[in-house]
Structure 1
Amino acid sequence: MTLVKELKKKEEPKSGMLNNVLQQFNTASDLVGLNPNIRKILGITNNELIIHFPVRMDNGEVEIFKGYRVQHNNALGPYKGGLRYHPTIDIDAVKALAMWMTWKTSLAGLPYGGAKGGIQMDPNLYSQSELERITRRFTYALGDNIGPEHDIPAPDVNTNSQTMAWIADTYMSTKAPSERSKNQHVVTGKPVGSGGLEGRDRATGYGVYLNIKFWAEHKNIPLKDKRFIVQGFGNVGYWAAHFLEKDGAKLVGVQDAFGSIVNQEGISVDSLFQYTKINEGSLVGFSNAAAIEKDDFFGVDCDICIPAALGNQITAENAPLIKAFLVAEGANGPTTVEAEEILLEKGVTIIPDILCNSGGVIASYFEWLQNRNGELWELDEIMARLDKKMKEVFIRVLNMSENRKLDMRSAAYVIAIERIERAYVQRGIFP
């Protein structure tokens, strides 16, 4: 049984990530026979915050920004989820991403719930000093809606360790001097010198690689000489490609926001990365590959496809073009429900986002623990812990998939939702 086959019985799906995640949740709830009262609770968010705030630009003019923070559920612990700066951000997108975080943290066995947030903006249009003021003003506006034991943001699309350092400093500055050091773990993904975790930059991409590796080992498929394509060559896409290349796999196609390139002889991951660093983040013009049309990218001949950009990228229109036997979701919600149905019927395996890209939130948990307990962990220890944790979660999903004859997304959802249901059953619902 699969989520998508069950969805055939339901009304024709509409577009949008929120609709996708709600359909996935409702169908998975049917699979587990979720308590109808708990289903009502998990089907909506706990809190939705929309903030309009003014910031003075470098030229002296004031610009008004719209920021969001959605807290979906905290039955298992504090809300946890990234902040993204992107012009496509809206309340429905943030709600969808917050729900996915709830399932992701539950599946990973972490003591967290799910949240997400961001600012509706294109950060490329602003100077570094403007981005700092925007971030600090947004943090101040969020106030006590975030906190180290309440809601812990992290980096996401177009945000990074510097963004988190600004947030942490602003938040701590609002506390009494004696309390400031106790609030360092209000965010994760900070620079190492400001309480961040060694290796946090590569954790999500490394986790994507690990899931591909675990799956290939289970199927007795060597990664050497396997061809893979990556959509999105940011932090996640780069590190996933880096580790796959080290195992002998060959990068043959890459797409970013600026263009798409292909070379069936192979593209050097490091060479492309160095090129993008000097080319304003763009791969356009890279000499050792041919440019192709955007709409042709998912049709590139390959064995493994890694969507590591934004949501709703693999659709009913381009899913039939995919030649890969494995799709590893580095992004959140990159595959629509309709596209997944097509891929599964073609025999394509999908390692779902809530499993595949969970390395980031697992590493965030390590950072949170490190700050909370006043510890410093070495990189080797961190990577070993990440390996161990991700293998445990992968095996749990694989066993559920095989024992109940479910696709991997269905299996992952069953595990995540059943864990939250147990918490509600054991605790009861107040009052």
Structure 2
Amino acid sequence: MINEQTVEKPKPLKRGMLDNVLEQFNHAADVINLNPNVRKILSITNTEIIINFPVRMDNGDVEIFTGYRVQHNNALGPYKGGLRYHPTVDIDAARALAMWMTWKTSLAGLPYGGAKGGIQIDPSKYSKNELERITRRFTYALGENIGPEHDIPAPDVNTNAQTMAWIADTYMSTKSTSERSKNQHVVTGKPTGSGGLEGRDRATGYGVFLTIKFWAEKNNISLAGKKYIVQGFGNVGYWASHFLEIEGAKLVGVQDAFGSVQNKEGISTEDLFNYSISNNGSILGFPEAEPFDSKEFFSIDCDICIPAALGNQITKHNAHTVKATLIAEGANGPTDVEGEKILMERGITIIPDILCNSGGVIGSYFEWLQNRNGELWQMDEILEKLEKKLRTSFEKVVNYTEENKTDMRTAAFSIAIERIEKAYILRGIFP
């Protein structure tokens, strides 16, 4: 006889980002009565690439790294999406992020599909020279799986303009001399001195700010004096905070990979940013704020919450503690499906990721066009174009939400998926 007390019950599997994006997709597909054949196509990825590649370290040892590139769909144009360097990168994460990119580019009205990838690595453990060799070796291994008219990577978590410059140089080096200049737009997010776009560094954060601003205008709310918290203080979190502060909003809490800080009276965005640079990227120890329990971060009293770090941060375990009335998703998939249900039941508005953080891919599109056409655009022109394009997307989502009495995420997904569905119906399926 088995003693039931000694039998260990299996632990429930942790819900992943892929589970979330598929549930979001299927919900929207049901709402719009998506063509069943198109549904089959969009439920899976087109291409999945896993590369194990060796790199020699500074001490002479060789390490093996695993890199990923998942190409979800290209019905509307070349694959587009970032490359991230993080220990959480795996095939399922890349699949989920690639699908979100497909919906994001479609919603923004761009001539792109969706892709994502990266390397399973903690970049803080490697020197700059090692990261360069890792990046160049990964680029070489990807070969013709990327290209300016096929698949165009961009920066993401723990990658930046320097990373993109290494990728562009490596890729162009594989081409003949006469072809090199035609391949500069193989990546976007490059340094301005190497074909990059002025303002690309702030495009995502500026877009997050703009969607919050549009929401405030729609609801006749002033941002002056509104309290907000930011999870993640990289490019997205910093620039969103920078522009919100100009509007008179007050930053009262920040969390990064090292911990959390808060100050009910307000935190200077610039002071915190400069401190983090001098403190190896960490906000901990900032003299004008107090440390705060990271597990309770979302419970900080505020009006606006900007999760701008990683996925699955707001879940059923902490959604009930959220004090904000507005969630602006600066990251991809920061709110899981179960957490979102709780937030919606509590009447909290969510500006979904595929709308809220789409300023980055819109900026990438501008850079791609700039390289392709041999043009140079000025900062004010770029920000004006970005605002115009984001306002169009925002108004489409709001109108759909009101007309169909649904939430903003369902509206955004529905608009994005319907555009792709139309492309398939018009073109047909080969053969």
TM tier relative to shorter chain? over 0.9
How far apart are the structure 2 equivalents of 1:53 and 1:90? Answer: 15
Question: Where does residue 307 of structure 1 map in the other structure?
Answer: 307
Correspondence for 1:291:
291
CA gap of 1:13–1:392, structure 2 versus 1, over 3 A, is: farther
Aligned to 1:343: 343
CA distance in 1 between counterparts of 2:407 and 2:74 reads 27
1:10-409 to structure 2, matched below 5 A, reads 15-409=15-409
The root-mean-square deviation of aligned C-alpha atoms, in Å, is 0.8
Equivalent position SS for 2:112 = coil
Report the secondary structure of 1:223's partner residue.
coil
Residue type matched to 2:339 in 1? A
DSSP 3-state at the match of 1:316: coil
Q: Partner of 1:416 in structure 2?
A: 416
Is this contact kept in 2: 1:13–1:19, CA < 8 A? no
Shift of 1:292: 1.0
Which residue pairs with 1:7 in the alignment? none
Structure 1 counterpart of 2:38, one-letter code:
I
SS in 1 for 2:69: strand
Q: Which residue of structure 2 lines up, in the alignment, with residue 428 of structure 1?
A: 428
Q: Which digits, 9 at most, give the CA deviation of each residue in 1:108-127, with x for residues without a partner? A: 00000000010000000000
Distance in 1 (CA, whole Å) between partners of 2:278 and 2:239 is: 18
Report how far residue 321 of structure 1 moved.
0.3
Cα distance in 2, alignment partners of residues 100 and 227 from structure 1? 29
Report Cα offsets for 1:60-115 as digits up to 9, x if no partner. 11000000000000000000000000011110000000000000000000000000
DSSP 3-state at the match of 1:296: helix
Contact 1:319/1:343 (CA < 8 Å) preserved in 2?
yes
Q: 1:182-230: CA deviations, max 9, x gaps?
A: 0000000000000000000000000000000000000001000000000
Q: How far apart in 1 are the matches of 2:370 and 2:174? A: 23
Structure 1, unaligned stretches of length 5 or more? Answer: 1-11
Give the 3-state SS of the residue equivalent to 1:105 in structure 2: helix
Partner Cα separation in structure 2 for residue 163 and residue 90 of structure 1: 20
Given that 1:54 and 1:64 are in contact with CA atoms closer than 8 Å, whether structure 2 keeps it comes out as yes
Counterpart in 1 of 2:3? Answer: none
Identity %: 75
SS of equivalent residue, structure 1 residue 68 = strand
Distance 1:14 1:30 in 2: 25
How far apart are 1:13 and its partner, in Å?
9.8
Q: Which amino acid aligns with 1:46?
A: N
- Following superposition, the deviation at residue 392 of structure 1 comes to 0.5
> Is 1:211–1:394's contact at 8 Å kept on the other side of the alignment?
yes
Deviation at 1:430, TM superposition (A): 0.2
Q: How many matched pairs? A: 420
Deviations 1:263-320 (A, max 9, x none): 1100000000000000000001001111111111000000000000000000101100
Distance apart, 1:234 and its partner CA? 0.4
Question: What code does the residue aligned with 1:173 have?
Answer: S
SS of residue matched to 1:311? coil
- The Cα shift of 1:412 comes to 0.1
Unaligned ranges ≥5, structure 2: 1-11
Please identify runs of 4+ aligned residues in structure 1 that moved more than 3 A: none
TM-score (norm 2): 0.97
- Counterpart amino acid of residue 94 in structure 1: A
How much does 1:14 deviate?
Answer: 6.0
SS at match of 1:188: coil
- TM-score, length-normalised on structure 1? 0.97
CA distance in 1, matches of 2:176, 2:285: 52
